[in-house]
């Protein structure tokens, strides 16, 4: 069958199944979608004019989803990246880098690490793809007298270098032309790649640059560009997601799919800009905080991020733990990098038993590709790590100290999680919940995050919360009741007032006043609903001083606690009964 016939046949059957109510939605991985997602989505839109179409797209912090694409947004990694950084104190980025460097002696030049890692990944995993692209480039170059003197080796080096230097997952073309944003990214990649190569490759790099930037007309150029655009996301996924996220561990809550390792923290103004962009351009996009690909769950991340509020305590703790645990290396040279990752993992997922800790660390060490890999596992090295974990987790001196430090993070981390959940439920877009995350979920990377979920327990707890008020919800913090209750309450509001959450409901930042104003993040939706959450509560210590939240005109009732305010409210009163607030304007 021809390609169009295959599309019509498969998607026609899909449409029939949806229309019949047999399925509600489906994930589609189609070659046309990979080659030209915009054109493919236009085809889908003709079949499903009223359906929701989302792209599983990883966006760089400076990258925006193409406004002209006929989709409803992404699957939510861009939102995850933004809201994930709200709970990190950006002012402590250099301090955290210093602690990491002191403890591990690991290099801090992230750009160099990424460049070298992607180059290694290209040669070890994607060499055949580079060879195929080189063959196509040679065939095209040698067909013209102007470029027939270019050497195969130089062309290959140029293609490999520019592939590893691209700062985003991939670029796109519409009707053969390069859009301005992608042109700038490609030119930057070429410049970066050229700086790494010997002078003799300049002509080859110039040829590759023309091939990538000029309008593609001949079949070889069209095929070259299509294959290269499909290769770059795979290189980035393997080089960054599956390597850098495990070998650059300054603060591992940064190391999440869709996020950027280099970015620790986000200014409130930048977060508001992001949400306003969603409200204007993508009001129906998905808002995710955990996914099947997450390196660690949302609750582990919000807890680990609290470390940025207490870096001195963190430095003291890991220094003490390294001293206590030195004998557990059993006269072998300590791997301080693995040890640093392990300590963050243990406090983030506390309490964490040996089996889960070891399975995670084995995967993490293989993904880091420093001493062991999936293809060439080092039994001796992995035995050392396994024995180290086993020894420290039965050492009372360490486990007592670990528990004491972890307890400093638990409540602030849970407040962060509740705040993040409320933002997800009220920001422009459609909230997405990964299995199990309705309660506190301290899962790590797959397969840990794919363990069976006790839905019966969640159903029973939800039934018991039907008539609950805030004090009932907070009576059992450890069970996860506050999170489930919050989700249920806000979803009820979404059902009762869908117009407050639709595309016409504007987004506007709110600002507090006073000495601790930066510890409040707030915004309004449509002038009818105000979301107000706390930040950096460990640093705050419940000392709000003269901080005050001015409210718009009218009577405002907290949907969660039923308390009412006029004119404004002090944060201490606002968050007294529940850690987050959702104010609704009264008639």
The DSSP string of 550-569 is EEEEEEEEETTT--EEEEEE
Residues 107 and 264: their CA atoms lie apart, in Å, by 17
Query: Is-contact 163 224, C-beta < 8 A?
Result: no
- For the chain, the residue count is 587
Q: Half-sphere exposure of 50 toward its Cβ, with a 13 Å CA cutoff?
A: 3
Which ranges of 167-267 does DSSP label H, i.e. alpha helix? 180-196, 202-213, 219-236, 245-247
62, with CB counted inside 10 A (0-12, 13-18, 19+), is exposed
Q: Residue 161 region, left (φ>0) first, then alpha (ψ -120 to 50), else beta?
A: alpha
Average pLDDT for 506-522: 97
Among 22-36, 95-109, 267-281, 360-374, the least confident range: 22-36
Q: Cis bond leading into 447, ω under 30°? A: yes
What does the pLDDT read at residue 4?
65
Query: Is-contact 445 510, C-beta < 8 A?
Result: no
10-16 contacts, C-beta under 8 A, 24 or more apart: 11/43, 11/44, 11/47, 12/47, 14/47, 15/47, 15/48
Does the pLDDT value for residue 259 go beyond 50? yes
Q: Cis bond leading into 351, ω under 30°? A: yes
Residues in contact with 280: Cβ distance below 8 Å, sequence separation at least 6, in sequence order: none
Q: Per DSSP, what are the bridge partners of residue 564? A: 557
Residues in contact with 118: Cβ distance below 8 Å, sequence separation at least 6, in sequence order: 163, 164, 235, 236, 239, 240
Give the model's confidence band at 1: pLDDT under 50 very low, under 70 low, under 90 confident, else very high: very low
Average pLDDT for 493-500: 97
Does the pLDDT value for residue 2 go beyond 60? no
581, with CB counted inside 10 A (0-12, 13-18, 19+), is buried
Residues 315 and 324: their CA atoms lie apart, in Å, by 14
**What is the distance of C-alpha 165 from the center of its chain?**
21
Residues 52 and 74: their CA atoms lie apart, in Å, by 11
Residues 124 and 245: their CA atoms lie apart, in Å, by 18
Average pLDDT for 345-356: 98
Gyration radius of the chain's alpha carbons: 26
Q: Decide: helix, strand or coil at residue 405.
A: helix
Average pLDDT for 313-335: 97
Query: Is-contact 247 228, C-beta < 8 A?
Result: no
Query: Is-contact 500 528, C-beta < 8 A?
Result: yes
Phi and psi at residue 554, in whole multiples of 5°?
Answer: 115, 180
CA distances to 328, 466, 563 from 470, rounded to whole Å, are 46, 12, 11
Residues 261 and 248: their CA atoms lie apart, in Å, by 8
Q: Residue 516 region, left (φ>0) first, then alpha (ψ -120 to 50), else beta?
A: alpha
Does the pLDDT value for residue 85 go beyond 60? yes
Share of the chain above pLDDT 70, in %: 98
Give the model's confidence band at 450: pLDDT under 50 very low, under 70 low, under 90 confident, else very high: very high
Query: Is-contact 578 474, C-beta < 8 A?
Result: yes
What are the counts of helices (DSSP H) followed by strands (DSSP E) for the chain? 24, 12
Query: At how many degrees (to 10) do helices 336-348 and 93-104 cross?
Result: 130
Does the pLDDT value for residue 22 go beyond 80? no
Element (H, E) at 431: strand 430-431
pLDDT tens across 197-224, in order? 888 889 999 999 999 998 877 899 999 9
CB atoms within 10 A of CB 118: 25
Query: Is-contact 72 282, C-beta < 8 A?
Result: yes
**What is the distance of C-alpha 381 from the center of its chain?**
30
What does the pLDDT read at residue 199?
84
CB atoms within 10 A of CB 110: 15
Does the pLDDT value for residue 141 go beyond 50? yes
pLDDT tens across 366-420, in order? 999 999 999 999 999 999 999 999 999 999 999 999 999 999 999 999 999 999 9
Average pLDDT value over all residues in the chain: 94
Query: Is-contact 70 37, C-beta < 8 A?
Result: no
Query: Is-contact 88 237, C-beta < 8 A?
Result: no
Share of the chain above pLDDT 90, in %: 84
DSSP 8-class letter at 240: I
**What is the distance of C-alpha 223 from the center of its chain?**
32
What does the pLDDT read at residue 412?
98
DSSP 8-class letter at 453: P
Query: Is-contact 514 562, C-beta < 8 A?
Result: no
Query: Is-contact 436 443, C-beta < 8 A?
Result: yes
Residues 572 and 6: their CA atoms lie apart, in Å, by 61
Does the pLDDT value for residue 68 go beyond 90? no
Residues 465 and 460: their CA atoms lie apart, in Å, by 9
CB atoms within 10 A of CB 91: 10
Distance between first and last Cα of the chain: 61
Element (H, E) at 73: strand 73-74
What does the pLDDT read at residue 7?
65
Q: Decide: helix, strand or coil at residue 408.
A: helix
CB atoms within 10 A of CB 380: 10
DSSP 8-class letter at 513: B
Question: Nearest 5°: CA angle at 528, between 558 and 519?
Answer: 55
């Amino acid at each position: 069958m021809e390609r169009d016939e295959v599309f019509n046949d498969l998607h026609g059957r899909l449409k029939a199944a949806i229309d019949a109510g047999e399925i509600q939605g489906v994930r589609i991985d189609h070659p046309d979608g990979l080659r030209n997602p915009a054109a493919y989505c236009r085809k889908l839109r003709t079949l499903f004019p009223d359906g929701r179409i989302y792209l599983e797209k990883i966006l760089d912090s400076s990258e925006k989803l193409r406004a002209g694409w006929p989709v409803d947004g992404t699957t939510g990694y861009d939102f995850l990246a933004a809201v994930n950084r709200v709970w990190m104190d950006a002012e402590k980025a250099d301090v955290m880098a210093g602690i990491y460097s002191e403890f591990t002696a690991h290099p801090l030049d992230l750009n160099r690490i990424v460049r070298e890692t992607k180059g290694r990944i290209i040669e070890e995993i994607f060499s055949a793809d580079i060879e195929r692209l080189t063959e196509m480039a040679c065939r095209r170059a040698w067909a013209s007298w102007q470029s027939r003197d270019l050497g195969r080796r130089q062309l290959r080096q140029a293609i490999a270098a520019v592939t590893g230097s691209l700062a985003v997952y991939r670029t796109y073309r519409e009707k053969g032309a390069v859009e301005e944003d992608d042109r700038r990214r490609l030119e930057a990649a070429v410049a970066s790649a050229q700086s790494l190569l010997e002078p003799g490759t300049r002509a080859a790099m110039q040829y590759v640059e023309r091939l990538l930037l000029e309008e593609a007309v001949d079949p070889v150029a069209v095929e070259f560009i299509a294959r290269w655009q499909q290769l770059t996301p795979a290189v980035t996924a393997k080089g960054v997601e599956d390597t850098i996220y495990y070998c650059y561990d300054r603060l591992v809550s940064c190391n999440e799919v869709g996020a950027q390792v280099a970015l620790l923290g986000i200014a409130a103004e930048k977060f508001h800009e992001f949400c306003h962009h969603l409200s204007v351009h993508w009001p129906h996009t998905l808002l995710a905080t955990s996914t099947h690909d997450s390196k660690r769950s949302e609750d582990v991340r919000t807890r680990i991020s609290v470390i940025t509020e207490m870096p001195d305590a963190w430095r003291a703790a890991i220094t003490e733990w390294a001293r206590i645990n030195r004998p557990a290396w059993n006269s072998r040279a300590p791997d301080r990098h693995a040890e640093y990752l392990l300590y963050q993992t243990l406090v983030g997922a506390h309490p964490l038993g040996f089996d889960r800790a070891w399975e995670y660390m084995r995967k993490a060490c293989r993904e880091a590709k420093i001493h062991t890999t999936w293809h060439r596992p080092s039994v001796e090295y992995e035995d050392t790590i396994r024995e180290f974990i086993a020894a420290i987790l039965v050492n009372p001196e360490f486990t007592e100290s670990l528990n004491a430090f972890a307890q400093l993070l638990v409540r602030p981390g849970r407040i962060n999680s509740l705040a993040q959940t409320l933002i997800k439920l009220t920001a422009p877009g459609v909230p997405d919940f990964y299995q199990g995350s309705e309660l506190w979920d301290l899962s790590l990377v797959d397969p840990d995050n794919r363990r069976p979920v006790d839905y019966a327990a969640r159903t029973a707890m939800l039934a018991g919360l039907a008539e609950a008020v805030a004090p009932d919800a907070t009576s059992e913090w450890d069970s996860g009741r506050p999170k489930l209750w919050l989700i249920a309450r806000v979803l009820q509001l979404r059902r009762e007032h869908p117009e407050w959450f639709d595309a016409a409901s504007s987004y506007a930042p709110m600002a507090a006043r006073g000495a601790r104003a930066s510890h409040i993040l707030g915004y309004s939706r449509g002038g009818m609903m105000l979301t107000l959450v706390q930040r950096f509560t460990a640093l705050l210590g419940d000392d709000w001083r003269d901080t005050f939240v001015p409210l718009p005109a009218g009577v405002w009732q907290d949907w969660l606690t039923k308390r009412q305010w006029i004119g404004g409210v002090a944060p201490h009163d606002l968050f007294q009964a529940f850690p987050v607030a959702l104010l609704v304007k009264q008639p």
